[in-house]
Amino acid sequence: MNKYLQFAVSSFEPLQIAINGGLTVGIVAATSIKLHSADSSVVYTIAGTDFTVAMGDAINGALVLAAQTNWTESVSTVQIPIGQVVTGVTIA
């Protein structure tokens, strides 16, 4: 069974990204964060405002939690740091 990261999104429903074989946090910039799939076939760009390293840490924390929970707990919510906002995601 797949596991998913869930992000609260401003003015939209929460979004979920499949963890599948694994995700790695890449570049963290003020307006975007890159998540790379373990096999490097997919790059997710999380768009938002005021991102800092704390957002990368929050994503990594949610990934660790997902790995430690049993298979029936398929969604791991990213605890978005105060003052940081997710506005959307693109997949490449």
How do the pLDDT tens digits run along the chain, 92 residues long?
789 999 999 888 999 999 988 999 999 999 999 999 988 789 999 999 999 999 999 999 999 999 999 988 999 999 999 999 999 999 98
* Separation of alpha carbons 59 and 28, rounded Å: 11
pLDDT at residue 2, as a whole number: 87
* Separation of alpha carbons 22 and 29, rounded Å: 21
Q: What is the DSSP secondary-structure string of 55-83?
A: HHHHHHHHHHHHHHS-TT--EEE--PPTT
Nearest to 4 by CA among 65, 82, 52, 90: 65
pLDDT at residue 18, as a whole number: 93
Residue with tokens 């790379």: 36
pLDDT at residue 58, as a whole number: 97
